[in-house]
Amino acid sequence: MTIRSAANNASHDKDAFGEKRARKSESVYQDLMGRILTGELKSDSAMTEQSLAQEYACSQSTIREALMLLQECGLVIRKGYQGTFVTDPSLAEATLLLRLRINTEVAGLTEAAKTITPAQIAELRDLDRQFLEARRQRDVYACAEIDREFHLQIFRCAGMSALEPLLVRTLVMLQRITLATPRPDYSWTHPKIVQHESILDALEAGDSDAAVSALKSHVFSSVTLLAPQFYGQDTARLRAQHEPDLSPISL
């Protein structure tokens, strides 16, 4: 379940006014999330319910709901009367988030490889085509949304539903780290990232070890390209630093 779908599910069984407010709060949430992930909203300026209500032409209760969703995924911290601030992850937090993502996804991918179907792989390839088109158009937020859905779709094949909210939050926070800084031009035209296709080819071949290796290479090459201020620029070195923590979990 993504954070977006959680918000949609929460809107069921409301009266007409409640449904309208829920739809508006979801819209505001998505817009604010995009502005945070792409670096438009930063940690040094406060957001207040009153000012956001004026900006989005809605009630403060609608804004409050949207901010609560943002807080649930770790993108903002609310400080009472001071306002709401975008979170600013530290180096230690960035390191732990990366480790958490890799360990969780590796466990999920290992399980998913046992049962994934050709139809599921075809759906993933379609998502990858959408991702490549968004990258061609240099749409940062669309790339983030599609990439997150791609990795979550693989994880869902593992049937680890209790861990999915944890992975959602981890992916969102890592995107907060990697997307807020303007991207160099070559990251769009010639990104030095191991692509989704490598993971899918390994899954289609039934090679779990190759799929796990491709996933690790994909994640590590992505973060060194997009957030060198946290992870450095040496993908091999970063992988070596994390490798002892990445032994498969026997299930």
Q: What is the pLDDT of residues 52-75, one digit of tens each?
A: 999 999 999 999 999 999 999 999
CA angle 77–82–84, rounded 5-degree value: 30
Helix residue spans in 13-58 (DSSP H): 16-37, 49-56
Read off the pTM. Answer: 0.86
Please give the span between the terminal C-alpha atoms of the chain, in angstroms, as a whole number.
22
Q: What is the pLDDT of residues 187-203, one digit of tens each?
A: 888 888 999 999 999 99
Contact, 70 vs 36, CB < 8 A?
yes
Q: What is the pLDDT of residues 147-164, one digit of tens each?
A: 999 999 999 999 999 999
